[in-house]
Amino acid sequence: MTSTIQTALFIAIVGILGIFIFMIIFYLLIKGLDKWFPYKEEKPEQDFVLDEIED
Amino acid sequence: MGLEQLLPAISGMTWQHLVMIGVGLTLIYLAIAKNYEPTLLLPMGFGAILVNIPLSSAISQIDPATGEAVEGVLNIFFDAGIATEIFPLLIFVAIGAMIDFSPLFRNPSLLLFGAAAQLGIFLTMLLATMLGYDIREAASIGIIGAADGPTSIVVASRFAPNLLGPISVAAYSYMALVPIIQPPVIRLLTSRKERLIRMTGNNNKKISKKALIAFPIVITIAAGIIAPSSLALIGFLMFGNLIRECGVLNKLSLAAQNELSSLVTILLGITIASTMTAERFIRVDTLIIIALGLFAFVFDTFGGVIFAKFLNLFRKEGNKINPMVGACGISAFPMSARVIHQMGQKEDPYNYLLMPAISANVGGQIGSVVAGGIILTLVPLLA
């Protein structure tokens, strides 16, 4: 096995592991963002005004 | 006065030039008649004709009268836009502005297929070194498997500018051929029972606007901390996405998606063609690169499908992943997702795989850019 092939093999192993590590981190970030910023139904502006008047 | 003086282009024409003009015409035919990536293949095809007419002023020539070098406009474009990576990076801004990352928030675990389906890049790189290419050339050839034209151009222009022409042609041609390449590989690797698996998920889940705005910023910071060399690629993609999601730059977002994308695509295609001269293109290397590109796409599909099958070993019945969705982890968006959805519907007309397939496909768009960034980081360190 030549040194070029050895280097390519090393890059292949580190590279594929690296992409998985990146993606796992991105996965955790997405989970985190979804938790920190949950979807909230925005009230239509008119309802909001009416609520304030009722108060 | 002889014909040579009157029409020097005819006397200078060789069979290699004619072959390249034929290649150009083929690319134009594929773009128009078959609708294969017309935005890129048509300018590349026309450019291939433009640069293969002897003494073409579109590329740099030695003036026969004075003996001085006269720079051609396509070489000027190349030096300004490709060698500096400006054109592909501007395309990333446009792509970022086009991508909706909300499918990833609905099915975040499918992001992992964006990693598995990059397998072809690294196997191809390995194979290329076995065929005698040096590590920089091999990495540039392998990146065809990213199924992402701009990433291929960035990597090839940095590591193997001499191979940029065939690598670009292979990358864009195979992206267009996804509906032909992927289905037989998937059928070979999966049983009918697996292809019938239905996937339920949070397909209708609503995503907070704040999360979508924070996503490109957080990803850029995370990518920058882990691999700063990948920041040009990921950062420009995420910048485009932030313009899209912020909600206050709608005009810029539309401009990035339409005008910027169209303008840079025109320049990118025709400029790449400046590398498609007969002397540089008609070589055994070109055929090898085109064959290796196909190998990369096949093993991308293999990686995604096998990874899905592997995950299914640990998932309960009723919660399994349709392995076909794994194949969508490539960057060819939305073509790959559409192909998988259609394959699913062919097996079972009531099986709707489009949403999970799109989630995996968006993961593939990120995965390909990450793969490009990792290669840009690792190769200079080890070569």
The pLDDT mean for chain B works out to: 90
Contact B206, B74 (CB under 8 A): no
The pLDDT of residue B240 is 95
Interchain pair A22, B123: CB under 8 A = no
Which carries the bigger pLDDT value, residue B214 or residue B319? Answer: B214
Blockwise average pLDDT, block size 10, chain A, 55 residues: 90 95 94 90 56 51
A48 to chain B, any CB pair closer than 8 A? The answer is: no
Collapsing DSSP to helix, strand or coil, B70 comes out as strand
C-alpha closest to that of A12 among B382, B70, B305? B382
Round to whole Å and give the CA distance between B321 and B317: 10
Contact B159, B85 (CB under 8 A): no
pLDDT in tens, B143-178: 999 888 889 999 999 999 999 989 998 998 888 889
The pLDDT of residue B380 is 93
C-alpha closest to that of B178 among B359, B335, B341? B335
- pLDDT tops 90 at residue B67: no
pLDDT in tens, B322-375: 999 999 999 888 889 989 999 999 999 999 999 899 999 999 999 999 999 999
Interchain pair A4, B129: CB under 8 A = yes
My answer on whether omega of the bond before B334 falls inside 30° of 0, hence cis, is yes
Interchain pair A16, B118: CB under 8 A = yes
Query: Which residues from chain B sit within 8 angstroms of residue A11, using beta carbons?
Result: 122, 125, 135, 139, 375, 378-379, 382
Round to whole Å and give the CA distance between A16 and B327: 16
Nearest to B114 among A23, A30, A40 (CB): A23
Interchain pair B382, A31: CB under 8 A = no
CA distance B269 to chain A (A): 29
Overall average pLDDT of the B92-97 stretch: 92
Round to whole Å and give the CA distance between B290 and B272: 16
Round to whole Å and give the CA distance between B104 and A30: 8
Beta strands in B238-362 (DSSP E): none
- pLDDT tops 70 at residue B3: no
- pLDDT tops 90 at residue B12: no
The pLDDT of residue B254 is 95
Q: Which two tokens stand for residue A54?
A: 């009722």
Nearest to B111 among A2, A27, A39 (CB): A27
pLDDT in tens, B114-128: 999 999 999 999 999
Interchain pair B208, A9: CB under 8 A = no
Task: Say which residue the tokens 């400029």 belong to.
Answer: B271
Contact B296, B126 (CB under 8 A): no
CA distance A33 to chain B (A): 5
pLDDT in tens, B241-298: 999 999 999 999 999 999 999 999 999 889 988 888 888 888 999 999 999 999 999 9
pLDDT in tens, B132-146: 999 999 999 999 998
C-alpha closest to that of B332 among B171, B112, B91? B171
Query: CA quadruple B225, B228, B234, B236: dihedral positive or negative?
Result: positive
C-alpha closest to that of B157 among B236, B86, B232? B86
Round to whole Å and give the CA distance between A5 and B134: 9
Interchain pair B370, A30: CB under 8 A = no
Amino acid at B135: I
Nearest to A19 among B115, B123, B125 (CB): B115
- pLDDT tops 60 at residue B47: yes
Overall average pLDDT of the B63-80 stretch: 85
The torsion angles phi and psi of B70, rounded to 5 degrees, stand at -115, 120
Round to whole Å and give the CA distance between B331 and B248: 28
Contact B139, B152 (CB under 8 A): no
Q: Which two tokens stand for residue B13?
A: 């024409």
Query: Which residues from chain B sit within 8 angstroms of residue A1, using beta carbons?
Result: none
Pairing of strands B69-70, B61-62: antiparallel
